[in-house]
A = this chain, B = another copy of it.
Amino acid sequence: MARSGTTKKVTRIQREKIEQILNAALDVFSIHGFRGATIEMIASQAGLSKPNILYYFDSKEAIHTELLENLLDAWLDPLEKLSPDGDPVEEICSYVHRKLEMARDFPRESRLFANEILQGAPRILEDLKGQLRELTDTEAKIIESWAKQGKIRPVNPYHLIFSIWATTQHYADFDVQVHAVLADRADGWFEQASQFLDTMYRATLTPDKG
């Protein structure tokens, strides 16, 4: 059959196998990147044969594309939830918390994204310059307005957002390093990180008295 665009009945087997393949592909692509991954790796991870993979997807690229498309929406979702009406410091801290949870619960997705960006984002640069840029502009304006009202310390909103992305995704993308450094302390990393980031962003955002 080969997964092309046309609307066709999707059988139970198709649903299951496609799910299996995407899951295995996420494992493989998130570690090895696009060029470093092979269809054979994905097949073996999924417990299927190589031709069987290519029965469900037209090509290696098609699998990768599918994963990236699913990814971007989920990835941007937490940012959209910044509410202009809430308490600014709480809004931002809970955004940090949501992002940290994502690093914990979806590390493969984080690494897939990191791999793509590291390679110059060849397949999603347009989305970054479109969707992501617009969304970030919107949220930056909210943050800026909070600053103007004196509700938070005046900081560059874009770099505040970058720092949140960086500090939270770090726990997924650099997981190996975090564990190597923390060694036996690594068990509680999530709570420690959560607490530290909370402290840091509260201190950063709470305006000086006077």
Give me the interface of A with B, judged by CB distance under 8 Å: 31-36, 111, 114-115, 117-121, 125, 128-129, 132-133, 136, 153, 155-156, 158-160, 162-163, 165-167, 169-171, 173-174, 176-178, 180-183, 185, 192-193, 195-197, 199-200, 203-204, 206
Report the bound CA distance from A86 to B194 in whole Å.
29
Q: How far is the CA of A168 from the CA of B128 in the complex (A)?
A: 20
Cβ contact of A180, chosen from B125, B163, B192, cutoff 8 A:
B125
Q: Do the beta carbons of B193 and A159 come within 8 Å of each other?
A: yes
Partner of A35, one of B33, B153, B156: B33
- A119 near B180 with CB under 8 A, answer no
Find out whether the CB atom of A192 lies under 8 angstroms from the CB atom of B133: no
Residues of B within 8 A of A115 (CB): 33, 118
CA A166 – CA B31 in complex, angstroms? 19
With A and B bound together, what is the CA distance between A192 and B114 in angstroms?
A: 23
22 contacts between A and B (CB under 8 A): A33-B119, A34-B36, A35-B35, A117-B173, A118-B174, A121-B180, A125-B176, A125-B180, A128-B176, A128-B177, A129-B180, A132-B181, A133-B183, A155-B199, A156-B196, A158-B181, A158-B182, A158-B185, A159-B197, A162-B170, A165-B170, A199-B204
A32 to B133, CA, bound (A): 25
A55 to chain B, nearest CB (A): 26
